[in-house]
Chains A and B, each alone.
Chain A
Amino acid sequence: MQMTLAINGADHALDVDPRTSLLDVLRDHLDLTGSKKGCDHGQCGACTVLLNGRRINSCLTLAVMHEGDEIVTIEGLGTPDALSPLQAAFVAHDGYQCGYCTPGQICSATAMLAEIKAGWPSHVSDDLEGAPELSAAEISERMSGNICRCSAYPNIVDAIADVGRDRS
């Protein structure tokens, strides 16, 4: 079926099977292969993209549901020659190894920092009302929907903390 999706600031007219997930549209129809398929079941986070500024698992949603939404993928955050601050921090802190979960980690972290800034509490927050701290525990907790089997977790935390500190 026909649909138009707004991705990384551009409209894309598509004619795809209604069963197609947002992730498969990105990867197979638009060649935006930065979003990864690790499990196709919303269990690993490798497919994380930003939907109207919030992080979602793009494998768990059908593309047809997202006409009118603003979708941003890893390709929309920065390019090799113009990395976003988080992308650059992941390189500097070695916040990856094989790189397969990395775009999802970075999309997730991008939205996560906004969630902290907006004052959303997490399971490890001491106070549900006050502004959450950007502690290692908060970052780890909030990034636990993104699995990294290479286990770059300590470096991912450092990379995010670096960027978060600069912003606050």
Chain B
Amino acid sequence: METSLKMDVPVQHSLLDSTNQNIISRPIDRVEGPLKVSGQARYAAEFKLPGMAHGVLVGAQIGKGSVARIDAGGVEAMAGVLGVVTDFDLFLRNSAQGMATEAPCQGVREIAYFGQPIALVVATTFEQARHAAQALEVTYEKGEGRFDFDAEQGKAQPKDSTLSSQGDIDAALAQAHGRVDGVWTTPSQTSAAMEPHASLAHWEGDSLVLYGSYQMLSTNRMQLADALGLDIEKVRIRAHYVGGGFGAKLGIAAESVAAALAAKALGRPVRVVMTRQQVFETTVRRSNTRQRVRLAADTDGRLTAVAHETLTANLDGEDFSEPVSAATKFLYGGANRTFGNEIVRMDQVLSGSMRAPGEAVGMLALEGAMDELAEKLGLDPVELRLRNLPDRHPGSDLPFSSRSLAECLTIGARDFGWPRRNRQPAATLDGEWWIGLGMAAAARSNMLIKSSARVSLQPDGRALVETDMTDIGTGTYTVLAQITAELLGLRVEDVAVHLGDTTFPPASGSGGSFGAASAGSSVYLACEKLREAIAGQLGGDVDTLVLSDGMARMGNISVPLADLDTGPLDATATIEPGETGENFVQAAFGAHFAEVGVNAHTGEVRVRRMESTFAAGRILNEKTATSQCYGGIVFGIGGALTEEMIHDTRHGAIVNRDLAEYHLPVNADVPQLKVRFLEERDHAANPLLAKGIGELGISGAGAALANAVYNACGVRVRDFPITLDKLIADLPDLP
């Protein structure tokens, strides 16, 4: 059986609100948990194939130019070396952007950025390959590169699709009672998923099987097939467990094509695992940004103007530009509005999507500006936001599908004890620490992406879910099992979920906070179809069918699911975005409240307390959703306080290309966070009535901290991250 739904009209009623297995939304443990905690979950590099050889990538040691010569002779004579593999036409120069359906930029004779992979050294063992890769002699023709953003920003080119304007910003600013006009900057950042990119390639005849560490298998397969000139049917990708992604694994990276070509050339399986340094240098980064935000408000504290204009960087030929003003466009009202991005062309590693592309850094500026405006107007920051929530999208005039932002702000403020905040900066001391409170709104656009799944009822009455969806830590295995169990009346342990294999129906993949809702909706639709088939077998109307505890009941009939005719009983379903995506503004919302301490002597910032309240439609599993939010919030802590990838302005090399020098938050940087969800349903989003949650936590989190730092010590930093060197000179004297 097949079925599909295009979301052209809101779903008035979700079956999840009337079934009675009582498993949806419950905070159950991850179904794959025991495998992960015992080291039995197998990630890409952990599969073993007979005759497998090890490849180590060699990256360019110049930032711009070309490869004159690779002298492989010496290396090929080294112990264990099987070959030096390169292909100046086919090797990937850049990683693929998320959701691309074609190969990314190929060809590695030209060097576009420092560290760009140019060859793969393959040997019998990893140790031999690593040694030989370090010894490979490469001669370069050096070119002139663009490595200094400040020097290049004057040459920025507008990205036309991002430009929009209404009213007269300048006039509104001139007439305003209160105004803010400032520039915020954010540095290059990296996703730094704990599992480095890895591919194990082997050929079965003219077909490629690749164990990879990727987020979106159905499009990764298209990218890989196109890069290698293969029919898509000849490419299979498997990624059953993925050690984090956060955007860096949305598209295929260099190791995939290198492994595939080497395996072909050598006639044996080849595994290529990037070093941590290569992950930094050659995968993808979040661009640095330079954002100008202008806000104007009248005497009632109502916004009259909102402008958010941004410079981002990228390689030649790459169209992606961090959509920094994504949430600014709909979060607050104001009749006069201007938005737009310009791209600065730099010879530095690809810029692409990292967790909450847009909101993650854009809300640092917007919500910082709102804090500054509140102070100028003499208004409480929560009150300023409440006064400026628009009834409809301020630009398009579309309605919101659901928006519990006011409730998040007011409930969050109450629970946090916000009313006790001293509005005066640098007024509260605890020993040698200045204490401050700050807040910010959270908003992240909601999306639905085409996604398919097959659900089968097995002869033993259990269910099997199959889709090429991934679980990158997002809880996919668990929430798909919960949806199926709820709709078919099964225990979760009686649902098997098989993910991460392109032989299964193609899914949305994990990205953009759309994974659970998109893949989950396809599973919902398949289960709905199975319910109809079961009702048909019982000879009645599906509306009278009750499935619970492994039994199908209808009127006086009660039959174990295992007694149904299951030969076969399966349904393949597809969800597609439709007109509800165009007719409604869809976003998840929330509010962050934070308390920080700023050391009066050193300027060190410590996060003391952080509470966040979110509304994102139906929460599919309260436990995994909470964890997702923790993760986003901690990404926000990193972005606000520590994370900064530094490019050497002489040759573009990343100076701090490891986990000692790129400062991720560690356990001691994070207090015991508190996350609360408000009850909500979004009927325009999907049949689950759920919205995405994977990126909501990061959106606004860093701004709440920056605003708290200001409240603590009276120093306003618009140049992220807020490291102590930016505070220390201006810290107030201790009383």
Contact present for B46 and A98 (CB under 8 Å): no
Q: Are A91 and B37 interface neighbours, CB within 8 A?
A: yes
Q: Are B631 and A43 in contact (CB under 8 A)?
A: no
Contact of B660 among A38, A41, A152, A158 (CB under 8 A): A41
State whether A38 and B672 are in contact (beta carbons under 8 Å apart), knowing that A90-B37, A100-B244, A153-B634 are contacts in the complex. Answer: no
Please, which residues of chain A bring their CB within 8 A of the CB of B29?
A: 91-92, 94
CA–CA, A34 and B243, complex, Å: 12
A40 contact set on B, CB distance < 8 A? 275-276
Contact with B along A78-120 (1 / 0, CB 8 A): 1111010001101110101111111100100000000000000
Instruction: State the interface size on chain B (CB cutoff 8 A).
Output: 63
Chain A residues with Cβ below 8 Å from B242 are 98
CB contact list, A115-168 vs B, under 8 A: 124, 136-137, 139-141, 143-158
Contact A99 B664 (CB under 8 A): no
Q: For B223, list chain A residues within 8 Å (CB).
A: none
Query: What is the CB-to-nearest-CB distance from B239 to chain A, in angstroms, rounded to a whole number?
Result: 12
How far, in angstroms, from A99 to B46 measured CA to CA in the complex? 14
Q: Considering the chains assembled together, what is the distance between the CA atoms of A80 and B667 in angstroms?
A: 26
Instruction: Using CB atoms, name the residue of chain A closest to B125.
Output: A17
CB distance from A39 to the nearest CB of B (A): 4
Question: If A83-B38, A87-B38, A155-B627 touch, does A44 touch B194 (CB 8 Å cutoff)?
Answer: yes
Judge whether A83 and B37 touch: CB under 8 Å. Answer: yes
As a 0/1 sequence over residues 99 to 133 of chain B, the CB contacts with chain A under 8 angstroms (1 = contact) are 00000000000000000000000000111100100
Do residues A99 and B36 form an inter-chain contact, with CB atoms below 8 A? yes
| A35 proximal to B (CB < 8 A) | yes
Contact assessment for B474 and A41 in the assembled complex, using a CB-CB cutoff below 8 Å: no
Give the chain A neighbours of B73 by CB distance below 8 A: none
A34 B38 Cβ-Cβ under 8 A:
yes
Known: A19-B131, A44-B659. A147 touches B664 (CB 8 A): yes
With contact pairs A97-B631, A149-B664 given, residues A80 and B193 touching in the complex (Cβ less than 8 Å): no
B557 at the interface (CB under 8 A from A): no
Encode B31-54 as 1/0 by CB contact (under 8 A) with A.
011111111111101101000000
Once the chains are docked, how many angstroms separate the CA of A147 from the CA of B125?
28
Q: Which residues between 510 and 558 of chain B lie within 8 Å of chain A, taking CB atoms?
A: none
Chain B residue with the shortest CB-CB distance to A82: B38
Interface SS, B side = loop
Given the complex, which residues of B lie within 8 Å of A34, measured CB to CB?
Answer: 38-40
Chain A residues lying within 8 Å of B48, measured Cβ to Cβ, are 31
A92 to B34, CA, bound (A): 10
* B673 lies within 8 A of chain A by Cβ: yes
Contact of B128 among A17, A27, A80, A106 (CB under 8 A): A17
B184-203 at interface with A (beta carbon < 8 Å): 191-196
Question: In which size bucket is the chain A interface?
Answer: 35 or more
Tell me the chain B residues, 308-366 only, with Cβ under 8 Å from chain A. none
Contact, CB under 8 Å: A79 / B192: no
On chain A, the residues within 8 Å of B246 by CB distance are: 149
Nearest-Cβ distance from residue B451 to partner chain A, whole angstroms: 21
A32 interface hit (Cβ, 8 Å): yes
User: Most chain-B Cβ atoms within 10 A of its Cβ — which of A101, A139, A140, A156?
Assistant: A140
Asked whether B196 lies within 8 Å of A37 as measured between CB atoms, the reply is: yes
Judged by a CB distance under 8 angstroms, whether B241 is at the interface is yes
A10-43 contacts to B (CB < 8 Å)? 17, 19-20, 24, 27-28, 31-41, 43
Given A36-B195, A92-B29, A94-B30, residue A151 in contact with residue B631 (CB < 8 A)? yes
Is A46 located at the chain interface by the 8 A CB criterion? yes
> Is A75 an interface residue, CB under 8 A from the partner?
yes
CB distance from A24 to the nearest CB of B (A): 6
Known contacts A44-B659, A99-B243, A150-B631; is A19 also within 8 Å of B194 by CB? Answer: no
The answer to whether the Cβ of A58 comes within 8 Å of any Cβ in the partner chain is: no
Contacts of B32 on A, CB cut-off 8 Å? 99
Quick one: which of B223-279 are within 8 Å of A by CB? 241-244, 246, 273, 275-276
Residue of B nearest to A141 (CB): B668
CB contact under 8 A between A151 and B39, given known A94-B627, A98-B244 = no
Contact A155 B630 (CB under 8 A): yes
Q: Which residue of B lies closest to A90 (CB)?
A: B37
The contact of B36 among A33, A102, A147, A151, by CB within 8 Å, is: A102
B244:A28 contact, CB within 8 angstroms: no
- CB of A74 within 8 A of CB of B39, answer yes
What 1/0 flags go to B161-199 for Cβ under 8 Å of A? 000000000000000000000000000000111111000
Chain A residues, Cβ within 8 Å of B627: 94, 97, 150, 152, 155
- Given A75-B39, A144-B667, A153-B630, does the pair A98, B126 have CB atoms closer than 8 Å? no
B624 located at the interface, meaning its Cβ lies under 8 Å from any Cβ of chain A in the complex: yes
Interface residues of A (CB under 8 A from B): 17, 19-20, 24, 27-28, 31-41, 43-44, 46, 73-75, 77-81, 83, 87-88, 90-92, 94, 96-103, 106, 124, 136-137, 139-141, 143-158
Q: Which 3 A-B pairs have the closest CB atoms?
A: A34-B39, A100-B243, A98-B473
Known: A75-B39, A77-B38. 7 other contacts (CB 8 A): A35-B39, A39-B659, A43-B276, A75-B38, A94-B624, A99-B243, A149-B246
Chosen A-B contacts, 19 in total, with CB atoms closer than 8 Å, are A20-B125, A27-B45, A41-B276, A77-B38, A79-B40, A80-B35, A81-B34, A87-B37, A100-B43, A100-B243, A137-B668, A147-B659, A149-B191, A149-B193, A149-B194, A149-B244, A152-B627, A154-B672, A157-B667
